[in-house]
Amino acid sequence: MSFTPQIGIKNQNKTMKTTTNSRRAGFTLVEIMIVVAIIGLLASIAIPNYVRARATSQQSACINNLRLIDGAINEWALETGQASGAVVASVTTVSAYIKLNSNNSVPGCPAGGSYTTTAVGNGRQVSCSMSTLAMSPHIVP
Protein backbone atom coordinates (compact mmCIF):
# COMPACT_ATOMS: atom_id res chain seq x y z
CA MET A 1 0.00 0.00 0.00
CA SER A 2 1.23 3.33 -0.87
CA PHE A 3 0.30 6.71 0.36
CA THR A 4 -0.72 9.30 -2.20
CA PRO A 5 -0.97 12.82 -1.01
CA GLN A 6 -3.87 14.85 -2.29
CA ILE A 7 -2.76 17.99 -3.93
CA GLY A 8 -4.91 21.08 -3.85
CA ILE A 9 -6.97 20.22 -0.77
CA LYS A 10 -5.30 21.90 2.12
CA ASN A 11 -7.45 22.50 5.19
CA GLN A 12 -10.43 20.33 4.60
CA ASN A 13 -12.89 20.37 7.43
CA LYS A 14 -12.83 16.97 9.01
CA THR A 15 -15.84 16.85 11.32
CA MET A 16 -18.02 13.94 12.18
CA LYS A 17 -21.48 14.05 10.68
CA THR A 18 -24.12 14.06 13.39
CA THR A 19 -27.85 13.89 12.91
CA THR A 20 -30.00 16.25 14.90
CA ASN A 21 -33.53 15.41 15.90
CA SER A 22 -35.75 18.23 14.73
CA ARG A 23 -38.60 17.14 17.08
CA ARG A 24 -38.72 19.37 20.12
CA ALA A 25 -39.94 18.30 23.53
CA GLY A 26 -43.57 19.30 24.09
CA PHE A 27 -47.14 18.30 23.38
CA THR A 28 -48.79 18.03 20.01
CA LEU A 29 -52.07 19.68 19.19
CA VAL A 30 -53.88 16.35 19.24
CA GLU A 31 -52.61 15.57 22.74
CA ILE A 32 -53.73 18.95 24.02
CA MET A 33 -57.15 18.53 22.39
CA ILE A 34 -57.59 15.14 24.06
CA VAL A 35 -56.75 16.61 27.48
CA VAL A 36 -59.21 19.48 26.95
CA ALA A 37 -61.92 17.01 25.90
CA ILE A 38 -61.36 14.92 29.03
CA ILE A 39 -61.51 18.01 31.26
CA GLY A 40 -64.72 19.09 29.52
CA LEU A 41 -66.25 15.66 30.05
CA LEU A 42 -65.39 15.70 33.75
CA ALA A 43 -66.79 19.22 34.12
CA SER A 44 -70.05 18.23 32.40
CA ILE A 45 -70.44 15.46 34.96
CA ALA A 46 -69.47 17.50 38.02
CA ILE A 47 -71.27 20.83 37.47
CA PRO A 48 -74.89 19.52 37.63
CA ASN A 49 -74.04 17.60 40.80
CA TYR A 50 -72.54 20.75 42.31
CA VAL A 51 -75.64 22.80 41.47
CA ARG A 52 -77.92 20.12 42.91
CA ALA A 53 -75.85 19.88 46.11
CA ARG A 54 -75.90 23.67 46.49
CA ALA A 55 -79.70 23.81 46.12
CA THR A 56 -80.12 21.01 48.65
CA SER A 57 -77.88 22.71 51.20
CA GLN A 58 -79.72 26.02 50.75
CA GLN A 59 -83.02 24.20 51.25
CA SER A 60 -81.75 22.55 54.44
CA ALA A 61 -80.47 25.86 55.83
CA CYS A 62 -83.76 27.60 55.01
CA ILE A 63 -85.83 24.85 56.67
CA ASN A 64 -83.61 25.12 59.75
CA ASN A 65 -84.16 28.90 59.82
CA LEU A 66 -87.94 28.35 59.49
CA ARG A 67 -87.87 25.99 62.48
CA LEU A 68 -85.91 28.50 64.56
CA ILE A 69 -88.28 31.33 63.67
CA ASP A 70 -91.31 29.10 64.38
CA GLY A 71 -89.92 28.27 67.81
CA ALA A 72 -89.18 31.95 68.44
CA ILE A 73 -92.78 32.83 67.57
CA ASN A 74 -94.05 30.25 70.07
CA GLU A 75 -91.70 31.56 72.77
CA TRP A 76 -92.68 35.17 72.02
CA ALA A 77 -96.38 34.27 72.23
CA LEU A 78 -95.91 32.54 75.60
CA GLU A 79 -93.83 35.31 77.16
CA THR A 80 -96.05 38.15 75.97
CA GLY A 81 -99.33 36.36 76.68
CA GLN A 82 -100.52 36.26 73.07
CA ALA A 83 -103.57 34.14 72.40
CA SER A 84 -103.83 31.64 69.61
CA GLY A 85 -104.62 33.50 66.41
CA ALA A 86 -102.66 36.64 67.34
CA VAL A 87 -100.96 38.12 64.32
CA VAL A 88 -97.17 38.35 64.23
CA ALA A 89 -96.30 41.56 62.42
CA SER A 90 -93.00 40.41 60.96
CA VAL A 91 -89.99 38.23 61.63
CA THR A 92 -88.23 41.15 63.35
CA THR A 93 -90.93 41.05 66.05
CA VAL A 94 -89.37 37.88 67.42
CA SER A 95 -85.73 38.86 66.81
CA ALA A 96 -85.04 38.89 70.57
CA TYR A 97 -85.71 35.14 70.66
CA ILE A 98 -83.41 34.18 67.79
CA LYS A 99 -79.64 34.13 67.56
CA LEU A 100 -78.91 36.95 65.14
CA ASN A 101 -76.41 36.71 62.31
CA SER A 102 -73.28 38.85 61.91
CA ASN A 103 -75.38 41.78 60.63
CA ASN A 104 -77.48 41.74 63.82
CA SER A 105 -80.55 40.66 61.91
CA VAL A 106 -82.70 37.55 61.71
CA PRO A 107 -81.09 34.99 59.38
CA GLY A 108 -82.63 35.09 55.94
CA CYS A 109 -83.19 32.46 53.31
CA PRO A 110 -79.80 31.52 51.79
CA ALA A 111 -81.43 31.13 48.36
CA GLY A 112 -82.68 34.73 48.39
CA GLY A 113 -86.26 34.10 49.50
CA SER A 114 -88.12 36.15 52.11
CA TYR A 115 -89.92 34.99 55.24
CA THR A 116 -93.52 35.91 56.03
CA THR A 117 -95.33 35.26 59.28
CA THR A 118 -98.94 34.33 59.97
CA ALA A 119 -100.99 34.03 63.13
CA VAL A 120 -99.81 32.31 66.31
CA GLY A 121 -100.99 28.73 66.63
CA ASN A 122 -101.46 28.09 62.93
CA GLY A 123 -99.84 24.99 61.49
CA ARG A 124 -97.15 26.99 59.71
CA GLN A 125 -96.50 30.24 61.52
CA VAL A 126 -93.72 31.25 59.13
CA SER A 127 -93.16 30.48 55.46
CA CYS A 128 -90.55 31.15 52.81
CA SER A 129 -91.27 32.67 49.42
CA MET A 130 -89.24 29.80 47.89
CA SER A 131 -91.77 27.22 49.12
CA THR A 132 -93.24 26.93 45.62
CA LEU A 133 -90.08 25.54 44.01
CA ALA A 134 -90.63 22.22 42.30
CA MET A 135 -87.14 20.74 42.81
CA SER A 136 -86.39 21.75 46.40
CA PRO A 137 -89.25 23.53 48.13
CA HIS A 138 -88.45 25.39 51.36
CA ILE A 139 -91.21 23.91 53.51
CA VAL A 140 -90.94 22.60 57.06
CA PRO A 141 -92.00 18.93 56.91
pLDDT, tens digit, 9 for 90 and up, residues 88-125: 988 888 989 998 888 888 899 999 999 999 889 878 88
Per-residue pLDDT averaged across 25-42, rounded?
94
- 16 band by pLDDT with thresholds 50, 70 and 90: low
- 20 band by pLDDT with thresholds 50, 70 and 90: low
The three state secondary structure string of the chain is CCCCCCCCCCCCCCCCCCCCCCCCCCCCHHHHHHHHHHHHHHHHHHHHHHHHHHHHHHHHHHHHHHHHHHHHHHHHHHHHCCCCCCECCCHHHHHHHCCCCCCCCCCCCCCCCCEEECECCCCCCEEEHHHHCCCCCCCCC
pLDDT at 12 over 60: no
pLDDT at residue 61, rounded to an integer? 94
pLDDT at residue 74, rounded to an integer? 92
Between 68 and 122, the more confident residue is 68
pLDDT at residue 23, rounded to an integer? 63
